[in-house]
Amino acid sequence: MFDKFHIAKHLNDAVNEVRKTEARQLKTADPELLKATRYIWLKNPGNLTDRQRLRLAELEKRGGLKILRAYQLKELFRRFWNYRSKAWANKYLDRWFWWATHSRMPPLRDFAWMLRRHQDGILAYFDHRIDNGAVEAMNGNAKAVARRARGFRSEKAYTLAMLYCMGNLALPPPLYTPSRDPEPCTDS
């Protein structure tokens, strides 16, 4: 729960909830305003397509949208991971917590309080700079092997499939490789 991926997921969920709430509120006044903007708010700015950048610029010019403030808070939170010192990261987290809790957006306020409850565990990242991304990737690969096989007849077969896939090993050569079509037998 304390790794970057899961924290970012919770933050994206909060931002998306702000978007949905505001879209419902604008449904009568301007129903097209936030239509098809979900991924603009969830992507990192560097990953936006040209079309999404233009749409974001249009929405920023309009101003006054809660989703814009939520997006800015999300982007400000990304800076948290760039700190090298645990003390400075803690100071920044305290400042970001104040911004989020005073944003008048309940999903972001709830996210900020979740961070506060787990602050010690989150700040432990700055002691070791280790996250469980590699373990999550291996777990995903293991599940993919199991899905591809649609079940194994034995534990040994599953283990071998995992070793080949996870170890990135080449399959052993086949026992028989015909170089050409066999010639028919002739009795003469």
Query: What CA–CA distances, in Å, run from 167 to 130, 156, 159?
Result: 22, 16, 11
Q: Given a cut of 50, is residue 16 above it in pLDDT?
A: yes
Q: Is 161 exposed, middle or buried (0-12, 13-18, 19+ CB in 10 A)?
A: middle
Same domain as 108, residue 79 = yes
Dump pLDDT digits (tens) for 31-70: 888 888 999 999 999 999 999 999 999 999 988 899 999 9
Kindly state whether residues 91 and 160 are assigned to the same domain.
no
Do 50 and 140 fall into the same domain? no
Closest CA to 110 of 11, 177, 1, 5: 11
* More reliable by pLDDT, 41 or 169: 41
Judge if 61 and 150 occupy the same domain. no
Of 75, 109, 128, the domain-final residue: 128
What pLDDT, on a 0 to 100 scale, did the predictor assign at position 12? Answer: 96
Q: Which of 175, 159, 155 is nearest to 167 (CA)?
A: 159
Q: Extract the runs of DSSP E, i.e. beta strands, from the chain.
A: none
| Number of domains, the chain | 2
**24 and 99 fall within a common domain:** yes
Rounded to the nearest 10°, the torsion over CA 134, 140, 143, 147 is: -140
Same domain? For 67 and 95 the reply is yes
Q: CA 110, CA 21: separation in Å to the nearest integer?
A: 15
Of 128, 143, 174, the domain-final residue:
128
Query: Which pLDDT score is estimated for 62?
Result: 86
What is the residue range of 143's domain? 133-166
**Is there a single domain that holds both residue 15 and residue 104?**
yes
Do both 145 and 94 map to the same domain?
no
Tokens of 54: 């233009």
Residue 174 — very low, low, confident or very high, per pLDDT cuts 50/70/90? low
Verify that 91 and 147 share a domain, yes or no: no
Residues 54 and 139 in one domain: no
Tell me which of 108, 128, 148 is where a domain ends. 128
Per the prediction, the chain carries an average pLDDT of 86
What is the pTM (predicted TM-score) of this model?
A: 0.74
